[in-house]
Structure 1
């Protein structure tokens, strides 16, 4: 019965995928620019919000902060004498000006997404759901995978504590 249910759910998801899906190429981020292909993330619209389905490799195993950032750039930038990989993406997407890091389903930045999980081989393939987002929100943004996990709060570390920018893709 479980196998039949899983097969049915997979078939429904596959059937719901459409030509309107957006595939974003993702590059590993470095101080001099992209350092290699990380893979892609397919974004699909569902009645429950946007589904982000990663097909990424080369990540460190474990959880990674995952966000929409405000600029369509993955270029490195210099800030206070230090180069920030993919710093051209700017901060988290926050069109309402909440100035608050939060959960993907609650208050806070609209760009706060569920974390991505990379398996022991560094592959991320588990889809995540962003219930507050629509495809029309995505124009002119970038996707960011951070080096560490995200606690979806501004404490004890700002912006969830995800740390360095590890991989980036322009929408």
Structure 2
């Protein structure tokens, strides 16, 4: 039986929630019932259910049934809290069962100092006031014994899980505006703001100019110019063949 209870208790505990940062949506201050129990629980809601975190002191070491009960009264050693919160008229069961009370949260374990550290996510209860499973104003009860999760084989198992006396209890007090109707997150509407950007100068990289090479003109004074005028200096002439330098 102990190994069976350990398995279900681990299934009910989840890693700490990191999505809440503005404080709890509900709190529970635990008061004594049949035992000198104390502690504080904080409840956080999301779109799928409720996260319960906190600690309870003054317990005996071991496992203890942990439930939401149908009434928000704590008198007569927590007996005035009534039975388990069960809006759909189902039998008692484990947190992961389809057939279960909405308030069935399984077992929590107290250490050798009698302290139970609680970190539970449950999707059958709600902090949405419009939901049939809204638990604001109801009571959370921690029991002296182990909840058999409806497997006890007797009629009482299908009602209470044979969890025994009520060691302590507390009222689920809604805080932080959770008593209003739940609205899903709405997208932020921002007015359109035109963006004014100054004109940016256009930087153009200079492109090299490719000039095809021109043929060089070579002056050749002693070659016929074929119609081009050409002045030679000094002037060149041919003396007549009959030139006689001694002739005057």
**TM-score (ref. length: structure 2):** 0.55
The runs of at least 4 consecutive aligned structure 1 residues that moved more than 2 Å come to 13-21, 46-49, 154-157
Q: How big is the shift at 1:155?
A: 2.4
Q: How big is the shift at 1:131?
A: 2.0
Aligned to 1:38: 38
Aligned to 2:50: 50
Contact 1:17 1:44 in 2 (8 A): no
Point out which structure has higher relative CO (alpha carbons under 8 A, 6+ apart). Answer: 1
Over aligned residue pairs, what C-alpha RMSD do you find? 2.0
Contact 2:28 2:41 in 1 (8 A): yes
Does the alignment pair 1:128 with 2:120?
yes
Aligned to 1:170: 171
- Report the structure number with the largest CA radius of gyration: 2
Map 1:1-171; keep pairs closer than 5 Å: 13-30=17-34, 38-76=38-76, 85-98=77-90, 100-105=91-96, 106-136=98-128, 137-153=134-150, 155-156=152-153, 158=156, 159-171=160-172
Task: Give the direction of change, closer, same or farther, for the CA distance of 1:21–1:154 in structure 2 (3 Å limit).
Answer: same
Q: What SS does the corresponding residue of 2:161 show, helix, strand or coil? A: helix
Q: How big is the shift at 1:139?
A: 2.2
Aligned length: 148
Q: How big is the shift at 1:156?
A: 3.4
Task: Give the direction of change, closer, same or farther, for the CA distance of 1:114–1:49 in structure 2 (3 Å limit).
Answer: farther
- Per-residue Cα deviation, 1:22-62 (whole angstroms, up to 9, x for no partner): 111001114xxxx7561111111245521211221111111
Task: Give the direction of change, closer, same or farther, for the CA distance of 1:110–1:17 in structure 2 (3 Å limit).
Answer: farther
Measured in 2, the distance between the counterparts of 1:168 and 1:54 equals 14
Structure 1: state its 5+ residue gaps. Answer: 1-8, 77-84
Structure 2: state its 5+ residue gaps. Answer: 1-14, 129-133, 173-248
Contact 1:149 1:161 in 2 (8 A): yes
Measured in 2, the distance between the counterparts of 1:16 and 1:147 equals 31
**TM-score (ref. length: structure 1):** 0.77
